[in-house]
Amino acid sequence: MMRTRPLKVALLGCGVVGSEVARIMTTHADDLAARIGAPVELAGVAVRRPSKVREGIDPALVTTDATALVERGDIDVVIEVIGGIEPARTLITTAFEHGASVVSANKALLAQDGPALHAAAERHGRDLYYEAAVAGAIPLVRPLRESLAGDKVNRVLGIVNGTTNFILDRMDTSGAGYSEALDEATALGYAEADPTADVEGFDAAAKAAILAGIAFHTRVGIGEVHREGITEVTAADIASARRMGCTVKLLAICERAADGRSVTARVHPAMIPLSHPLASVREAYNAVFVEAEAAGQLMFYGPGAGGSPTASAVLGDLVAVCRNKLGETTGPGESAYTRLPVSPMGEVVTRYHISLDVADKPGVLAQVATVFAESGVSIDTVRQQSRQDPDGEASLVVVTHRAPDAALSGTVEALRKLDTVRGVASIMRVEGE
């Protein structure tokens, strides 16, 4: 039997995502009510610019006083889509204190202060849901947190930033340089006016911290995620990957150590074989592989950003939280019982693709091979090509076997000191094999 008294929802933020959340709440009100077991009512919308016309939203609901809105006491659920650390953090904790559960899309805040927010939610007996914080419309948080709760997840590998994937895809398919591809992404609305959070890997690193924490039942701070962006990826890197039968993607990789005693989380560009399913993820789409002990390999794919896809994830959480509210219960909170340490990047076992500019003369390859041997790094393949140029230079490309990242980094530094090495043209990790 459906309850007639509505559940009241406060919306913090009414930009691209917030306005779409409000629209769907209005147009799908009957369906949402049927699925929840009670109607939901948009009780207030906190914004920065109240004078802006917001189609479909009653101006009487709009306020600039977000604090007063979450302090009302009659709000059942607060949806936070304003982003950033403050005032979002304070508003969320205030909402818990005044009886509301929270649905958030704020990856930066959750990556930085997730444990404290979970503790606040538990202290007040409220829910904290955040499916939209990781991969837009792709259901990923709930499968990890609930569907795979009885399994042991060993690895999460994926593309979790649509902007960088669009840029790298354009560089691969059209031969464009980084700047040209970024300009196109900006013109199409995939990149912000300031794209730093995306192209330098901050966005993906925040998502990796959240995913690693959920997958491995431990706390992973944003500062413990190794981060590299795509600004140094060149057209030559893309071409070199093609010659290897690979493409370049910005990957978020979260792994449990083979002995199960530690975890790692990292974000960086990597070459992956064209035969790998992630290689076919095009434009601004996201895709994530989850490897679990019993379930095996699972792949989640779909649009990772945008108003409608992100709103879909927000509203899925809203339905779940409202159902919990009616049942006078809460969903799963933080699970960090394993307390596994996070290993530094230097201990991660990886493969390298190294492109060197070397003197075109006998003995160079032997010198380079000696450096690798002295560093304890095994070579998988090597290719040398003369350029027929007046400077007498050649290109030497080395692909290594797997070795600790610190050993590979040390190898590169040793190579730079060789008189016959004129420069290191590019260095990139190789994954997916």
User: Do residues 277 and 285 lie in contact, with contact meaning Cβ atoms separated by under 8 Å?
Assistant: no
Q: Measured between alpha carbons, how far is 173 from 404 in angstroms, rounded to an integer? A: 32
Catalytic annotation present for 207: yes
- Cβ burial of 6 (10 Å; 0-12, 13-18, 19+) is middle
Q: Measured between alpha carbons, how far is 305 from 313 in angstroms, rounded to an integer? A: 10
Catalytic residue among 8, 52, 152, 207: 207
Q: Cis (ω within 30 of 0) for the bond into 87?
A: yes
C-alpha 253 chain-centroid distance:
9
**Residues forming a β-bridge with 77:** 9, 101
Q: Measured between alpha carbons, how far is 184 from 10 in angstroms, rounded to an integer? A: 36
Other C-beta atoms closer than 10 Å to the C-beta of 72 total: 15
DSSP codes joined into one string, 132-181: HHHHTTS--HHIIIIITTTS-EEEEEEE--HHHHHHHHHHHHH---HHHH
- Residues tagged active-site: 207
